[in-house]
Structure 1
């Protein structure tokens, strides 16, 4: 009897949470905003741990089914995700990568040491030709990061010529000899990575001078010119955005920015990927506000220094970062991926959408087996992570037209000293013509109930999917039944009101009907 009374009390407490606030969401479907660029859903693959080798690349001779060395199952899963863009070869790795080491017969390529990530041998089996084979299999765009740390302007210029050149120049003939007659399509080309840190410990003014110098020599056929990207700031620092947008006026299309999220908010002692208390759930998710803040500050700077809006902001590294998984090589950045990571991703999406005018690319770190991965593999097995499913739910927002939203009476979710708005919302009109709404209920224990309106009217219904699970650290593990998978979600209007009931700790993405 005592257990029944406790269960009843728990039910009443949760039920009270449902109606604790009369949340109202208004979507202004008749006020189209900037397009949400599909590359906001970009991916990142670095030569790091098993992120490429074993995780995606197994070689043509492997017994694991593959196409020219790339795992069939991984490529198929990524194609289902409609991956629009892949960034390669790094990351910190890029600034010690010399592209000529990765061309020609694979059995003759030099073996080096990956000094950044684990001190393991790098046999250069995946190089320029293999990377472009991957992005072409995916139907994705290519983002190539040039070596500005240990490279030279000549090396960066010649790599671009090797990839895009036509005619009969010796370097173009070398590409043909290596099996590629047609030039590669390079969509994005960056000079350096994290030049404030692992890419050279530079000052922004020094890097701006180097960028102007190096970019002078980046030349391609006019129809195959990539967008050129400058290495920008980190975390809350907007100094780099300010200096670069003031001092670089030619051959610059975007400035990169990086920010990772740790439960502790500190680089040392980041926190655990699983087995955490609710306070760390909130501490982690609430930090997405810093992303919103730095993007808002960057917009002010860019609007002042670049009123013609020629320079975009590319958030080309972001995601969760935890303490190393026990028993793993710390340099491999192996971590578990849980429901918390899925919500973290969705909260990032909602923020990126709200800054779509300037934020035209983001790249989650990383695609397979590293940090906040989409896919985890072991030998011939793979599993799709909760983050994968968050990305898949948001596919309708790729190239959608953003729509203004207003959230009224949004309660504060607070645990210990950490707090944040309970509900996060985004909206857009998809390429299919439908109005799509993405919602996140960050409260780990209580559902949220809200009324949805299109302008002054209530829609007739919504239909889509919800992603949630029973535990905050629910995960999908290799060889086990997945705990975090999307399920159907729908709601019908009653008496002229459409009420959505969002489960605790959930992501809901729906198409609006009527």
Structure 2
């Protein structure tokens, strides 16, 4: 009995030690640090499933409280989130969308079939005016993804003229006929989407020539609203695509190059959004953390042709992608949002923050009811997901000056694979310093020691997002199961802040 007790005690001690791993973070000089562009915290609203119709837009005659057909509760939530930009109307949908079908009297607009997402028939009741007016209400910049795949240069440039020309012209006259006197002044334009795939299955060389053509004919008309032209960029690790665009497109014709990358178990077997095991969780985080390598390598290629970093890397589609919820249309991409998604959001945003010298815009896919959404709706009910709460905590980094850091992280191991368990980023703005920390380990709490001696900081407060199980999520019956809470498991001594992070948790610290 004594030997059994001793063995059990020893095992307990070992497990206790393994569950109290240590990490250190060192803050570097801020002298040449970039500003974290607020547009890194952008969002994406595609005509896909229930994102627009029965998501954002319920119609002016809905019993659900709305403003011009857009749900008031969504407006309030997104204003509180402080979204800096919103991408629309796609995605793959963009290269089948003809914008003139979505203007004028709603009862006279033609219908269309959404060939990419579920084959549904749409009535075009949510169009250019609806979207741009929504952006004005939200105080966010519109990002229009325009049709290259099935459109023409004239159709594209007519749209630019319609929304931007303030004087007299055919398209501004048409806008005024449709009851909008003032031009919206849209700066951010995507020249097609995923041209390597749903945008036309093009080679990068062919698309680079097309981009030059479209970009040449785009105009800001009165030189008061300089256009930010974004080229359809690479799919994940297609570095050749980035190489060709940077090599072949003159720098006076382009402001941004896009990149798309999603997180999943495997592309063929994505698995459930809520019924997953640790092996599937680990595999998903492996693809999420791959973003560090993707951003680094695409940036290195861009540095060869643009050492001054004038052209931005735009990650305008990112997030978790799983099988749709049981009983829902496979083409609608509706999935739940768990603590796993909070881990994806926290680590990915840390990566973008730390690479903000080149990454100056990003768009989570997608805002409402699609993929890694920040908002889910069901009838008149609405809930905010764990991803929403992470982005809400992280909004303090928008337009803040990056504090470069070095993270010495313990490993999160599963089988013969391993990942860094700790992710972090830091910034300062308006006299406040913020440090965002993520522990992705599924089982172990980790104490992070942060050397703050150079910054002379003290009096920290903190918020945490955590739960008892990775699979935990908010439901319409219990919409506040996961929300940010006050966090106090840290101490400050002799210039070192020691923070003990629970397994799979996100913490944001603030010091004034």
The two structures have a TM-score, normalised by structure 1, of: 0.94
**Cα distance, 1:295 vs structure 2:** 1.1
**Cα distance, 1:230 vs structure 2:** 0.6
Aligned length: 505
Equivalences for residues 85-104 of structure 1 within 5 A: 85-104=85-104
The answer as to whether partners of 1:36 and 1:353 remain within 8 angstroms in 2 is yes
Where structure 1 has 5 or more consecutive residues not aligned to the other structure, the ranges are none
SS of the residue aligned with 1:325? coil
SS of the residue aligned with 1:368? coil
SS of the residue aligned with 2:325? coil
Deviates more, 1:111-120 or 1:8-17: 8-17
Distance 1:179 1:230 in 2: 32
Equivalences for residues 55-454 of structure 1 within 5 A: 55-221=55-221, 222-249=223-250, 250-264=252-266, 267-408=267-408, 410-430=409-429, 432-454=430-452
Distance 1:54 1:435 in 2: 40
SS of the residue aligned with 2:107? helix
The answer as to whether partners of 1:461 and 1:492 remain within 8 angstroms in 2 is no
Distance 2:21 2:48 in 1: 46
The answer as to whether partners of 2:338 and 2:386 remain within 8 angstroms in 1 is yes
Distance 1:77 1:388 in 2: 9
SS of the residue aligned with 2:235? coil
Specify whether residues 63 and 178 from structure 1 end up closer, same or farther in structure 2 by C-alpha distance, changes over 3 A only: same
**Cα distance, 1:277 vs structure 2:** 1.1
1:124-177 Cα offsets, whole Å, 9 max, x none, are 111110000111111000100110011000100111001111222222111001
Please name the residue that 1:472 is paired with.
470
SS of the residue aligned with 1:274? coil
SS of the residue aligned with 2:340? helix
**Cα distance, 1:30 vs structure 2:** 4.6
**Cα distance, 1:303 vs structure 2:** 1.1
The answer as to whether partners of 2:435 and 2:509 remain within 8 angstroms in 1 is yes
Specify whether residues 217 and 26 from structure 1 end up closer, same or farther in structure 2 by C-alpha distance, changes over 3 A only: same
The answer as to whether partners of 1:274 and 1:473 remain within 8 angstroms in 2 is yes
Distance 1:16 1:482 in 2: 33
Distance 2:220 2:21 in 1: 60
Deviates more, 1:485-494 or 1:231-240: 485-494
**Cα distance, 1:300 vs structure 2:** 1.2
Cα RMSD of the aligned pairs, angstroms, is: 2.0
Distance 2:225 2:153 in 1: 20
The answer as to whether partners of 1:458 and 1:498 remain within 8 angstroms in 2 is no
Please name the residue that 1:34 is paired with.
34
Please name the residue that 2:3 is paired with.
none
The answer as to whether partners of 2:289 and 2:347 remain within 8 angstroms in 1 is no
Distance 1:65 1:14 in 2: 53
Distance 2:509 2:104 in 1: 48
SS of the residue aligned with 1:340? helix
Distance 2:400 2:350 in 1: 13
Specify whether residues 63 and 512 from structure 1 end up closer, same or farther in structure 2 by C-alpha distance, changes over 3 A only: same
**Cα distance, 1:220 vs structure 2:** 2.2
Distance 1:215 1:405 in 2: 38
1:94-151 Cα offsets, whole Å, 9 max, x none, are 0000000000001110011100000001111111100001111110001001100110
The answer as to whether partners of 2:92 and 2:116 remain within 8 angstroms in 1 is yes
The answer as to whether partners of 1:35 and 1:400 remain within 8 angstroms in 2 is yes
Deviates more, 1:395-404 or 1:483-492: 483-492
SS of the residue aligned with 2:21? coil
Specify whether residues 283 and 10 from structure 1 end up closer, same or farther in structure 2 by C-alpha distance, changes over 3 A only: farther
Distance 1:46 1:399 in 2: 26
Distance 1:6 1:15 in 2: 14
**Cα distance, 1:390 vs structure 2:** 0.7
The two structures have a TM-score, normalised by structure 2, of: 0.95
Distance 1:217 1:305 in 2: 24
SS of the residue aligned with 1:316? strand
SS of the residue aligned with 2:234? coil
SS of the residue aligned with 1:159? helix
The answer as to whether partners of 1:452 and 1:459 remain within 8 angstroms in 2 is no
**Cα distance, 1:496 vs structure 2:** 5.5
1:273-302 Cα offsets, whole Å, 9 max, x none, are 112111211111122332111111111111
Please name the residue that 1:493 is paired with.
492
Instruction: Say if 2:499 is the partner of 1:504.
Output: no
SS of the residue aligned with 2:298? helix
The answer as to whether partners of 2:444 and 2:503 remain within 8 angstroms in 1 is yes
**Cα distance, 1:497 vs structure 2:** 4.1
Specify whether residues 492 and 69 from structure 1 end up closer, same or farther in structure 2 by C-alpha distance, changes over 3 A only: same
1:478-513 Cα offsets, whole Å, 9 max, x none, are 122532111012333246643111111100000135
The answer as to whether partners of 2:316 and 2:363 remain within 8 angstroms in 1 is yes
